[in-house]
Chain A
Amino acid sequence: MASALFNENFLRRLEHLRFATRRPASGHLRGLHRSRRTGSGMVFSDYRAYTPGDDTRNLDWGIYLRLDRLILRLFEEEADLPVYLFVDASASMAFGEPSKFDFARRVAAALAYLALVDHDRVSVVAWADGIARELPVRRGKAQVWPAFRFLQGLTASGGTSLQGALRGYFGGRRARGLVVLLSDFLDPEGFAPAANFLRQFRHEVFALQLLAPQEARPDLPEEVTLVDAETGASDTVHVTPSLIAAYREAQEAHCRSIESVCRAGGWTYRRAQTDAPFEELMLRSLRDEGVLR
């Protein structure tokens, strides 16, 4: 999958990026992200009085000579970042050409690659009306291929319930990290309940809403029976320009409602159309949004 998704040049350019976190990382393992803990990092953090048992390598000998006091220099310890990639695998994601599901898997693969290269811990969760499949926590560049294979093995089916999936996954203890939501957010329950649930864990959240070009600009015959890909429900409509206009308005309103929920929680939101250049999204748009740096 990797060879099909990414070329060498893209991967090399991807390696120059890393996740940008607004808050210090809370990983337990050493990584490349700033954490709240002080330790053996490279970035000076503070001073404190020496107490027996401290590492004497961090004593500030200049202060000792001037003030005759043992002061210990503190450094920020760099930790790894737990990254939770939530890939929407509901039936609605199979819609479009190129399909939203393929696009979401490519984004997830790229972000997983990025995280694993930076020695972050990566979890991939495929969800529909609950957790469909889960890739347990992986770390290290060697886990790139298992992560790719996992993504390649996913299929899109079933309904959509983000709240159910989040409840299922975060019901256990999970380190605070970056939650990446890759979905079309066509959730009958709406996005707000899931967002409210997720907000309590104080994760950093990046929501990428995917739209197929056929959703953004539907091209339908005059008389058509529309069939819901997830529920099978159908409705016959007479397609008129005014109806199309109303649909686009509703579509825009739906996207804006997702965005407003995200912005209200201080989350990062991005809308992407699946026929847009993928590398442009990864190398520029996500940096502009502050997701990568």
Chain B
Amino acid sequence: MNSIRRNPSLAAGGTLVTLLAAIAIFGPLIVRANPDAIDLRHALAGAGAHHWLGCDSLGRDMLARIVWGARLSLGVSTAVAAISLAIGTLIGGAAALAGGRVDNLVMRAIDVVLAFPGFLLAIALAAILGPGLADLIVALTAMGWTGYARLVRGEVLSLREREYVEAARALGARPSRLLIRHLLPGIAGPVAVQATFGVGGIIIAEAALSFLGLGARPPAPTWGNMLEAGQAFILVAPHLTTAPGVAIGLSVLGFNLLGDGLAQLIERRR
């Protein structure tokens, strides 16, 4: 109770994210309606006993689509965050440990990618690779890894001078062991914070790409696809946009609060 009062962001964010994860994992097992089953008799139906969130323009159950969409949207977003994190850590860490010309070259390359607006890069890549889940993940990863590479490089450079790292090096530890055993645990905190905020950003970017018709191919029930499909019916059936809009909003809110809470936690520990 005391810890909740001291760090309400962590408690609220953690609860929201846990809840969303539970919906993504178990939701499709509980909501048995088929998210792709078309039933034109119920097209644009409002919320009711059989369809708790109503039906879309083809009579598909909105609740089922939201729940399956949680799996897709959250799955894609966490996958992208994890892959970006892995690539960024590898490149940033290696550059910092190699130092000198390699470091210089890598950072120059990253500067060029960073000079390119991330969302535009994702749009261009998604447009060229074509619609599809794997292509979507590639496009979103291209947008995000540079931030982690920069962060990890900076943290490694500052940690490298610490005594315990110097001691390990003096004992003959190889660079790879140095990075994995001694440096990564030291930078896990700030990286975790950035990754948590990152997931929120990726959820919005994923929805935006889907909205532009560059995400997962319909009828895949991603929240972005649902928002896009609902916009044509905004006058007659606003629930088609409200449901995915609120789902995206709550997810982003959850990850932002969690990131805030984690940052406070780390700050207090230091």
Do A and B associate with each other?
Answer: no
User: Residues on B close to A: CB < 8 A?
Assistant: none
